[in-house]
A and B are shown apart, each in its own frame.
Chain A
Amino acid sequence: MINVNGLYHAYEKGGPFAVKNAAFKVEKGEIFGFLGPSGAGKSTTQGILTGLLPLQKGEVTVAGCDMKKPKREIFNKIGVSFEQSNVYGKLTARENLNFYSKLFDVNTVDAGTLLKLVGLDHVADKKAGEFSKGMKHRLTFVRSMLNKPELWFLDEPTTGLDPAIASQIKDIIKEENNKGTTVFLTTHNMFVADELCDRVAFIIDGEIKLIDSPRNLKLKYGEKMVSVEHNEDGKLVKEQLSLIIKEDQDRLKTIISRGNIEIMHTKEATLEEIFIKVTGRGLK
């Protein structure tokens, strides 16, 4: 569905690269995620893939179309949701969707159905300008579903939403993917990447550090960790210790021998811990 090779992008001529030598493939039917902290170059990459930013250097094919000279028709097959919601504030939610539907040459989903899907049916005829941030975000999100896209771009689909709504959005993404939609998503949230993605790319400073499935990553990089809360000189101390690293093992032995442990359990390494290990930096 997506083929990228040797992709570079700089916002200013001669300036720093926001994306450096990126290469990846997204297969039909998978959910592919870009995981990285803010400023890593995720949105920039999505911008190039969706034709919003010019392709400066590298090869990019999206849904069979060379993005050097994209054909407008491919947008009948593509849906794009944005990190920053962008709807007409002076139009109602329904008007926003109805106007957008008319821009497609293919059959579109009814606006009412979509609004209901994300719980906006009760405000369908309210001006979007009066919506809260989360509501605007949901409207932007469902707008990208109007043309039943084969390939769906989602830039930070759950950021800024309260947990209940975020989980609703995640369910919708999974469901559409089960129906056959290929998804490219970006996130700085390891849980989203872990829960949704078939494969993730770790990206930082414009460079892709690795690409693999969350499961493989945990097998490969994940070491068993122990989380301990213990009392030390009257203070509660919380520590994460590896069962593999020698110093951590010794430390754990010391803590156990003191016998002041309040809580202790083993856990899988999270994607974030793996991310830190691979890139040397966190996701924040």
Chain B
Amino acid sequence: MSKLWTTFLKDAKLSFNGLYFYIEIGLAFIFVAVMLFVVPENFESGQKINAFVNLDEPIKSQIEEQITSEDDSLLYDSRTALEDSLEKDRSAVGIEIKSNGSGEIIYDFVLQGYENDRIKSLLKSTVEGEFLSSIPGFESSVSYDVLEPDSQRLTDRANILPIYLTINVGLMGLFIIAAYIFLDKDEGVIKAYAVAPVKIWQYLAAKMLIMLLMGLITSIIPVLMLAGTDVNFLLLIVMVSSFNLFGSALGLFVSSFFDSMVKAMGGLYAAVMLMVLPSLSYFAPSFNPAWIKVFPSYPMMFAFRELLLKNGDTGYIWMQTVLFLILALLVFFAANLRFKKTLTV
């Protein structure tokens, strides 16, 4: 065990001195930046508010005038029309403004289901600031209705995270671990290692631990920055670890069949493409043939999604985590068997 640790520390030192580590971290930050600046989280300035003013004249016109002065707001003339409009545009929120018959105005928000408390309070203060001041003499109260109480929707940003996480795990495991092995082969250091009283699996496991470290860093940062602190990070760490170990074990196994990075490229590329394919079904749920579920990235993607959903299915997450851990062990075992024969040839 201490030899594994020694090897891991050496590999860590080498990767902090090398490029790949920083490329990975850099890519994670670029992803975060793109998400933050290009893909809007559904609620920020310029939020679309669809409204139905369910009041008698003259207050109705007064409020409607107020609302239409906002660029991004549309008026509907029934609750059903309002809800339909929200089904169509899932980045909008709705509001029905009505009276309770005893001089109180009720602001009833119709939400999509993915909005968090921060957004709710943001809406409330907007209403208080903009509408209430213009209609003096009315007491008010705010309430929320949710379109789909158990929403299967994520904000646009959070929705892309599962794909990023899955590809990150897949790419890291496949390409970078292979690159590390071939780097060692080219430098010849692998031969020196192989004539020391250490086991091949210790060499391979140290590389997997490096991948794990990188995988965790490049997964936690984007989740923290894009999905916030509501996520169950303990579960995220367990999931990423399991999937990442599987990914790098697969990378080891694929590279064991080749003797240079160039030759391994085709195989690795094919493996990555297969990892990416299920994202089709992720974005277009109607495209969901049975065969696509065979790809390991399919359950990975949907497990990440469950993690980000407010009431995600933790049973599913744990099942996939354990499953991939077992698979990782098996693939690692196979890679070790192969490398015993081919690592120094």
Write the residues of chain A forming the contact surface with B, with a CB cutoff of 8 angstroms. Answer: 47, 50-54, 72-76, 78, 80, 82, 84-91, 95, 99-100, 102-105, 140, 143
Contacts and interface: CB of A to CB of B under 8 A. Distances in A.
Interface residues of B, number: 24
Interface in B89-136: none
26 contacts: A50-B195, A52-B194, A72-B197, A78-B195, A80-B195, A82-B188, A84-B188, A85-B188, A86-B187, A87-B187, A87-B189, A87-B192, A88-B14, A88-B187, A88-B189, A91-B14, A99-B6, A100-B192, A102-B2, A102-B6, A103-B3, A103-B193, A103-B196, A103-B197, A105-B197, A143-B192
Query: Considering residues B13, B194, B195, which has the most beta carbons from chain A within 10 angstroms of its beta carbon?
Result: B195
Contacts of B14: 88, 90-91
* Top-9 shortest CB links A-B: A86-B188, A103-B196, A75-B197, A80-B195, A52-B344, A102-B6, A90-B17, A99-B10, A76-B197
Contacts of A95: 13
A80 B191 CA distance: 10
Contacts of B6: 99, 102-103
B18 interface: yes
A87 B191 CA distance: 10
Interface of B is mostly: helix
Nearest to A146: B196
Contacts of B191: 52, 82, 86
B344 A100 contact: no
A86 B189 contact: yes
Contacts of B188: 82, 84-86
B345 A53 contact: yes
B323 interface: no
B198 interface: yes
A91 B344 contact: no
Interface of B: 2-3, 6-7, 10, 13-14, 17-18, 187-189, 191-199, 341, 344-345
Contact of A89 (B187, B194, B196, B199): B187
Query: Considering residues B2, B192, B194, B345, which has the most beta carbons from chain A within 10 angstroms of its beta carbon?
Result: B192
Nearest to A80: B195
Nearest to B5: A102
Contacts of A105: 197
Contacts of A47: 344
A102 B194 CA distance: 14
A30 to B, nearest CB: 21
Given A53-B344, A89-B187, A91-B13, A75 B192 contact: no
B189 A72 contact: no
B256 to A, nearest CB: 14
Contacts of B345: 52-54
A237 B77 CA distance: 116
A72 to B, nearest CB: 5
Contacts of A80: 192, 195
B199 A72 contact: yes
Nearest to B10: A99
A100 B10 CA distance: 10
Given A86-B187, A86-B189, A103-B197, 4 more contacts: A52-B191, A52-B194, A54-B341, A80-B195
B18 to A, nearest CB: 7
Contacts of A91: 10, 13-14
A272 to B, nearest CB: 30
A47 B191 CA distance: 10
Query: Considering residues A99, A103, A104, which has the most beta carbons from chain B within 10 angstroms of its beta carbon?
Result: A103
B85 to A, nearest CB: 60
A49 to B, nearest CB: 10
A78 B189 CA distance: 17
A99 B14 CA distance: 12
Given A53-B345, A91-B14, A104 B196 contact: yes
B192 A73 contact: no
Contact of A82 (B3, B10, B18, B192): B192
A95 B189 CA distance: 14
B254 to A, nearest CB: 21
A90 B18 contact: yes
Nearest to A75: B197
A104 B2 CA distance: 11
A86 B185 CA distance: 10
A103 B17 CA distance: 22
Contact of A51 (B7, B13, B18, B195): B195
B60 to A, nearest CB: 73
Nearest to A87: B189
A52 B189 contact: no
Contacts of B197: 72-76, 103-105
Contacts of A78: 195
A50 B193 CA distance: 12
Contacts of B192: 80, 82, 86-87, 100, 140, 143
Nearest to A79: B195
A163 B196 CA distance: 30
A84 B17 CA distance: 23
